[in-house]
Structure 1
């Protein structure tokens, strides 16, 4: 599976994917972190959204943009865990960062989502900041 750039026509499918991906985390976080159609439209226009399909369905996406020497992963979601889609999107993000001449990946997650707190270090990320509402991670690209 190869991620591709999202287009405006993908917005309805991206919204469904986000809803599905985030549903299990709503009880942990206490709110719905669902992107809006307007936000996706702006991100797509900026070239910041890549998606991955499982058959005809959008199964995952990543929203990222350069921030200094890093590629900031603002949002990454997969509709079904355990299929390697998240790892594929992360690898795609690393390749994108390298192609842009960037030296790091950066992302943030909720301290209440313990799966992410375990997953990101396993993928080579180091914690850079911890607050009551956010845990920041960074991965140096070598």
Structure 2
């Protein structure tokens, strides 16, 4: 499976995928995480949304933005029914390749500070914590991964 840009007619399916992927976090953080309320029509129109399909439906998505000298990995979502198939790692590798293709020296991301599992996962993938701060009403952990020249 290769990530491809999301198409305009997939906005509702993309929103539904993200809502399903993030639903488990609502009880932990006490409200819907930011990706659950994002505007996927706008994300698709801006060329920021990439998806992967499995068995004819959207299985995973990633939102990538060019931002302040880096590629911002704004959101990565894996459908609960397709977890454990390596899609997360595939999309993370794709993000790195895309950052290099666009000439960025690093990838930045953030996650809710209560999502400790995610923080640990990103640390294991070579990201470093750069700061913690409140953003849009969420206590977030900001992380960055410098990219070498090797693909």
Q: TM-score, normalised by structure 1?
A: 0.93
Q: 2:130 maps to which residue?
A: 128
Q: 1:109 maps to which residue?
A: 111
d(CA) in 2 for partners of 1:6, 1:46: 10
Q: CA deviation digits over 1:109-138, x for unaligned, max 9? A: 001011101100111111101236010010
d(CA) in 2 for partners of 1:138, 1:60: 22
Is 1:15 aligned to 2:15, yes or no? yes
Once the two structures are TM-superposed, the CA of residue 90 in structure 1 deviates from its matched residue by 1.0
Q: 1:139 maps to which residue?
A: 145
Which consecutive residues of structure 2, in runs of 5 or more, have no partner in the other structure?
none
Correspondence 1:9-48 to 2 at 5 A? 9-33=9-33, 34-36=36-38, 39-48=39-48
Is 1:72 aligned to 2:72, yes or no? yes
Could you say what the CA RMSD is over the residues aligned between the two structures, in angstroms?
1.2
User: How many residues are paired up?
Assistant: 140
d(CA) in 2 for partners of 1:82, 1:35: 25
Runs of 4+ with >6 A deviation = none
